[in-house]
Homo-oligomer: A and B are copies of this chain.
Amino acid sequence: MKSHSRSHLGLGIVLLLGASFPGARADEGMWLYSAPPRHQIKAKYGFDLTDAWLEHLMKASVRFNSGGSGSFVSADGLVITNHHVAASDLQKLGDENNNLLRDGFHAPNLAAEMKAVDLELNVLQSITDVTDRVNAALPPGATGEAAAAARRNVIAEIEAASLRETGLRSDVVTLYQGAAYHLYRFKRYTDVRLVWAPEQQIAYFGGDPDNFEFPRFCLDVAVYRAYENGRPAKIEHYLTWSREGTREGDLTFVSGHPGSTNRQFTVAELELLRDVQYPYVVPWIKRVEVLLANWSARSEENARRAKEDLFSFQNSRKVHDGLQAGLYSPAIMGARAAEEKAFKEQARDLPGGGEILAAFDRIAEATDLQAKIYRQYRLLESGHAFFSESFRIARRLLRAADERPKPNGGRLEEFGDARRESLELALFSEQPIYPDLEILLLADSLTLLAEQAGFESPLVQRVLAGQSPRERAAALIHGTRVRDVAFRKQLYDGGAPAVKAARDPLIELARLVDAESRELRRQWDAAEEIKQQAHAVIERARFALEGNTRAPDATFTLRLSYGPVKGYEEAGRRIPAYTQFAGLYERNAAHENREPFNLPPRWFERKSALDLSTPFNFVHTPDTVGGSSGSPVVNTAGEFVGIIFDGNLQSLVGDLVYEDVQARTLSVDARAIIEAMKQVYHADALVAELLSGRMQKHGSR
């Protein structure tokens, strides 16, 4: 997901808003499986979403706890996702001699499949509405923190009881900004092994410059296999692979886990983003990007180590630039303000209209409070002041010791019983940590702290302890033992006395700021709670006025989107819906095979064997955002026809507003995956398993 020409985006927004805002919403929506858009699809496309069709797709959809989506594509546990979702695993499995990210990977048989270091997959099994139960647990008239604590408590209870009863991971998810609470139960897979991945160069062809652009030419695909009890997992609900793929105009569905959207934000919340959050966070992203890019350039080994982090910051920078442009667009902000005004006028006439208007005011007050503490909150509680993997571990050890003795409902969310296994998986991960990069990052973030809080502030003086940021960072990283997993286990098991006795300098630094950091979190969460309660009031009013005609904002939970395969116009030029392998070789030649437009050698060697007219990437209109990456694309028969890997530049405002004039979701065509696996990678057994849905029994695997 990644480069854009700024001018196009700005102009694009203006054109479309005149036409589509705030009226009809075309195929907008990342829909709940418990409330699918049956009527809209029936009315517009004449297609019936049956319960069986939905259940099959739901249970074939996979959530990656590392942040992304995927799907089962064989009865023997094969899972397909994006290469960029798999990238952190590829990095962790590689070392100085085996650069899996760069060179790709292929296990010719089960024995060669490599277990991912700390990957967890979740598969949604059921959805239960627990809104009434959550609301009933709130003491009458409770507001602010008291309400939040009561809600945390009941949610923890519901989750713990469900886990006990079913053995399934159980998360209560908040929807419609708190107007609804649903219990999601997941089957977990923690033995997940890498089967196949191409070279990053073809997965991410065009690199950061082509990120968020179309036409595109990316084989952004990786294949894993889920295991249970040391054997390939037996999967009932997996997607049948379509040999025919799609044609322009075909209806497609996307089933995945869009991360988050803010389409229900009030104007006050948008202003908080625009005036407080983005002016801090956009420069912060660029600062870390410059640091990582610079360090990577010093040696090939540095580049390998930082590649994933750099990728993620570059991507994030583009997303934020795109969103910020939306926030500074009078067309978007004006439309949102007009919409809010119109809604308030309608709401005034509803029963309890005064309460609805007051809810808007409460949100504005809460955002004022958040504006005041935002930077401190980011520096301390989000850890920007100590930005390093070592500090994250140190703080987690410190807090685990403090939190675990508390009753489940009274703990910080990440230490709840329902998240214990995931916490331990992350905490005891053998993922390599590089001291030189850690020193660099920590020194820069201590510098940021000094810039933001003032060098002579008591906080900074306490943190730096008489040293310069560079000296302090070197001393802390050299002095800490948190890179040693055995040490972490010892402290985690030993609790507060063991943590204290260790006198680890980085844990002691975390302790030094912990009271202030927790207080910031308390205030921040209290404001969030006020907003959530107010939003629940507003959303209930919206139900009353509009009915259940909108999907909730994205929350990294499973959603269904839909829309046709469709090209678009840009600056007077027609952009066709599909690219082909031929275009890949043309773009490579235009850049004389220079990075990041170079190709792995076998793509030249095997060019003559490839059918160059094979559809490679395509664009369609389903509503998606970051987190949707790796989602399967299926046709009306429920067959796998492609996999999502990006959106175009025009889609970057999707956090705030959906459009289908120019904004498009980008997918890899199922036909290209098979053709490349067969002709370029000679992965014949894998191809056979994908096309047949069963593992092949003959000798080669």
Using CB atoms and an 8 Å cutoff, list the residues of chain A in contact with chain B.
3, 5-7, 9-11, 13-14, 207-209, 274-275, 278-279, 282-283, 286-287, 289-290, 293-294, 297-300, 317, 324-325, 328-331, 436, 439-440, 443-444, 447, 450-452, 454-456, 464, 466-471, 473-474, 591, 594-596
Known: A7-B443, A294-B209, A443-B7. A331 touches B596 (CB 8 A): no
Q: Which residues of B contact A14 (CB under 8 A)?
A: 471
Name the CB-closest residue of B to A294: B3
Q: How many angstroms from the CA of A14 to the CA of B470 in the assembled complex?
A: 11
Q: Are B439 and A7 in contact (CB under 8 A)?
A: yes
State how many angstroms separate the Cβ of A587 from the closest Cβ of chain B: 11
Q: How many angstroms from the CA of A456 to the CA of B331 in the assembled complex?
A: 15
Name the CB-closest residue of B to A334: B466
Q: Which 10 A-B pairs have the closest CB atoms?
A: A10-B470, A279-B451, A209-B297, A329-B468, A286-B290, A283-B283, A209-B298, A10-B471, A328-B468, A7-B474
Q: Are A469 and B294 in contact (CB under 8 A)?
A: no
Q: Which residues of B contact A279 (CB under 8 A)?
A: 451-452
Name the CB-closest residue of B to A10: B470
Known: A3-B298, A10-B470. A455 touches B209 (CB 8 A): no
Residue from A283, A294, A447, A452 whose CB has the most chain B CB atoms within 10 Å:
A294
Interface class of chain A by DSSP? helix
Q: Which residues of B contact A278 (CB under 8 A)?
A: 451
- Some 28 contacts from A to B, beta carbons below 8 A apart, are A3-B294, A3-B297, A6-B439, A6-B444, A7-B436, A7-B439, A7-B473, A7-B474, A10-B443, A10-B471, A10-B474, A14-B471, A207-B297, A209-B294, A209-B297, A274-B455, A282-B451, A283-B286, A286-B287, A286-B290, A289-B290, A290-B290, A290-B317, A293-B293, A299-B591, A328-B447, A328-B468, A330-B464
Known: A283-B286, A439-B7, A455-B328. A300 touches B468 (CB 8 A): no
Q: Which residues of B contact A300 (CB under 8 A)?
A: 591, 594
Known: A275-B455, A328-B447. 20 other contacts (CB 8 A): A3-B297, A5-B298, A6-B443, A6-B470, A7-B440, A9-B470, A10-B468, A10-B470, A209-B297, A275-B456, A278-B451, A279-B451, A279-B452, A283-B283, A286-B287, A325-B447, A328-B455, A328-B469, A329-B468, A330-B468
